[in-house]
Amino acid sequence: MGKLGLFLILALAPPLSASDLVSATHFFPVVSRTDGLVGTRWLTALRITNPHDTPIVVTARLSAGGGYTSVDLALPAGATLGWSDLAGDLFGFEGNGALLLEASGGANPGLPAECRTFAASMRIATAAAGGGSYGQGVPALDPLTGFLGDWTAVFPSVSLWGAPGGSGFRSNIGFWNIGAGDAQLRLRILDGAGTEAWRQVVTVRRHEPSVVALPRGLDLETASLLVEPIGGWLDCAVYLSVVDNVTGDATFLGGQLIDPADAAACDGSKGTPEAADRPPRDVARLLELFLGGGGG
């Protein structure tokens, strides 16, 4: 292949996200150990791999109940560790939470950052009646785009029709706020023609991840969901889970983001802060926010 062809491939390739890269830090917006509809029981499986020739220590922090709980995991050189019920096995936890994995310099003295990176994958699943299981993979959040800040998240795949145990689909929205205070969000569902069918304002407490069912009373096979931050910058992650009413099988979806500067160019009623007023989107700041003011 010529240099021009290689250049075009690299130029046109999609950017890498956090779930594509080994890292010393992984943010997962949901951990579940809970009963669902249609007889489902959702458990979270986690795998972590150390690709290096030196052992590392990974600290797992479960965000739930207004704080967090920490467990240190020794990961030998080249090894993979796994749990089929992460919340129960490591934390004795029942409910919905979120997870921060970090191989910090403090837990790994003398190891440079590039030698503390590790791979991580997560799946939330339930047992199938005929054997085996089904569920949804949960990607790690990209620190650049995984938390809203002042951006609006658009979900084009909301489906709300039928009834659990019957035909159709239902949709649930999940939140994880690691900011210093409460996060207020405006949720709006638009039908296929763009008409607003429902709206609600929700408050998400710090370190209280939650999953909320979108209204069952709507009958929308094709719809979209907009999640808009209220009151400025919010360090809150948002995701959607679309569930098959017949099987209970679920699909994890991240939102597609609109920068308020772009929105302002199309709708003058939407203001945008100056770039200097926006905090940096980086791992160091997110870690400081997560760890500040609670847990251990």
In tens, the pLDDT along 24-76 reads 999 999 999 999 887 889 999 999 999 999 999 999 999 999 999 999 999 99
**Do the domain assignments include residue 123?**
yes
**Do the domain assignments include residue 263?**
yes
Give the C-alpha separation, 128 to 167, whole Å: 18
**Do the domain assignments include residue 267?**
yes
Same domain, 132 and 156: no
Domains in the chain: how many in total? 2
The per-residue pLDDT for 20 is 61
Closest CA to 142 of 240, 20, 267: 20
| DSSP letter for each residue of 261-290 | HHHHHH-TTS----GGGSPP-SHHHHHHHH
Distances (CA, A) of 69 to 2, 121, 200: 53, 20, 31
DSSP state of 151: P
Distances (CA, A) of 73 to 43, 82, 102, 130, 148: 20, 11, 10, 35, 30
Q: 256 lies in which domain range?
A: 152-271
Same domain, 92 and 161: no
When pLDDT is averaged across residues 143-160 and rounded to a whole number, the result is: 91
User: Which residues are 138's β-sheet partners?
Assistant: 122
In this structure, what token pair is assigned to residue 146? 């995984």
The per-residue pLDDT for 249 is 83
Q: Where a domain ends, among 113, 138, 163?
A: 138
CB 204 within 8 A of CB 115: no
In this structure, what token pair is assigned to residue 161? 């029709």
**Do the domain assignments include residue 240?**
yes
**Do the domain assignments include residue 290?**
no
Q: Which residue has the tokens 């709300």?
A: 160
Same domain, 92 and 166: no
- The pLDDT-based confidence of 4 (bands split at 50, 70, 90) is low
The per-residue pLDDT for 130 is 78
User: Which residues are 73's β-sheet partners?
Assistant: 58
The per-residue pLDDT for 144 is 87
**Do the domain assignments include residue 109?**
yes
Q: Where a domain ends, among 89, 113, 138?
A: 138
Same domain, 198 and 234: yes
Same domain, 55 and 24: yes
The per-residue pLDDT for 131 is 80
Same domain, 169 and 62: no
When pLDDT is averaged across residues 113-123 and rounded to a whole number, the result is: 96
CA dihedral 257, 143, 296, 69 (to 10 degrees): 60
**Do the domain assignments include residue 293?**
no
Same domain, 169 and 251: yes
When pLDDT is averaged across residues 240-250 and rounded to a whole number, the result is: 87
Same domain, 124 and 63: yes
Residue range 227-242, pLDDT digits in tens: 999 988 999 999 999 9
Q: What is the domain-level CATH number for residue 199? A: 2.60.290.11
Same domain, 133 and 162: no
Same domain, 98 and 183: no
Same domain, 25 and 132: yes
When pLDDT is averaged across residues 140-157 and rounded to a whole number, the result is: 92
CB 42 within 8 A of CB 34: yes
